[in-house]
């Protein structure tokens, strides 16, 4: 059938007004095409939600920095697995953290976000052993049994 508005041969989605999909969209959205509607209505909402997400992320990262400072001040800066000394400075002159990899979560932040800022859920590890804890064979590590007890304690509280 022909659309009553654009006069093109098309599938009619609105039988009452005899309109094709594009013309019916314009009817429902104050004469705007899908592209105009996207740029004027949808895109600004997306940008707002992105800004909110970035604000949320900044809050989490600020809390992380405070938490890592607490761990830095209260735990010896040596690898709990091998005893290797780690840097004695917390941050560089520009404010970025030094060796952020040293703070290894026993229960992962993704799976257990409620333990993200719990000092009992942190091992201080060198980069090699942080990688092993995250991606390697944990059972071969010296800290495995101790961490199993910590996990049990955290999950039972």
Percentage of the residues of the chain whose pLDDT score is greater than 90: 77
Mean pLDDT in residue range 60-72 = 95
pLDDT for residue 47: 78
Is residue 8 a contact partner of residue 20, using CB atoms and an 8 Å limit? Answer: yes
Q: Does residue 126 fall inside a structural domain?
A: yes
Q: Identify the H or E element spanning 134.
A: helix 127-135
146: containing domain: 62-156
Q: Does residue 51 fall inside a structural domain?
A: no
pTM of the predicted structure, to 2 decimals:
0.67
Higher model confidence: residue 123 or residue 42?
Answer: 123
Q: Does residue 107 fall inside a structural domain?
A: yes
Predicted confidence band at 5 (pLDDT cuts at 50, 70, 90)? very high
- 30-39, 70-79, 107-116: range with lowest mean pLDDT: 30-39
Q: Does residue 100 fall inside a structural domain?
A: yes
Q: Does residue 44 fall inside a structural domain?
A: no
Mean pLDDT in residue range 141-151 = 97
pLDDT for residue 37: 87
Is residue 23 a contact partner of residue 6, using CB atoms and an 8 Å limit? Answer: yes
Is residue 123 a contact partner of residue 101, using CB atoms and an 8 Å limit? Answer: no
Mean pLDDT of the chain: 93
**3-class DSSP assignment, residue 61:** helix
pLDDT digits (tens, 9 = 90+) for 122-138: 999 999 999 999 999 99
Q: Does residue 84 fall inside a structural domain?
A: yes
Mean pLDDT in residue range 66-86 = 96
Q: Other CB atoms closer than 10 Å to residue 21's CB: what's the count? A: 14
Total structural domains in the chain? 1
Upper half-sphere CA count for residue 4 (Cβ side, 13 Å): 11
């Amino acid at each position: 059938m022909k659309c009553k508005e654009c006069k093109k041969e098309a599938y009619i989605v609105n039988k009452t007004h005899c309109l094709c999909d594009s013309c019916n969209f314009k009817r429902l959205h104050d004469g705007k095409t899908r592209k105009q509607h996207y740029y004027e209505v949808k895109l600004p909402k997306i940008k707002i939600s992105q800004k909110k997400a970035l604000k949320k992320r900044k809050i989490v990262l600020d809390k992380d920095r405070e938490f890592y400072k607490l761990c830095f001040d209260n735990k010896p800066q040596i690898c709990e697995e091998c005893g290797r000394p780690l840097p004695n400075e917390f941050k560089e002159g520009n404010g970025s953290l030094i060796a952020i990899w040293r703070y290894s979560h026993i229960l992962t932040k993704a799976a257990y976000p409620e333990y993200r800022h719990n000092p009992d859920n942190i091992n201080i590890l060198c980069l090699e052993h942080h990688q092993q804890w995250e991606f390697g064979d944990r059972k071969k590590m010296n800290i495995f049994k101790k961490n199993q007890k910590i996990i049990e304690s955290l999950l039972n509280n």
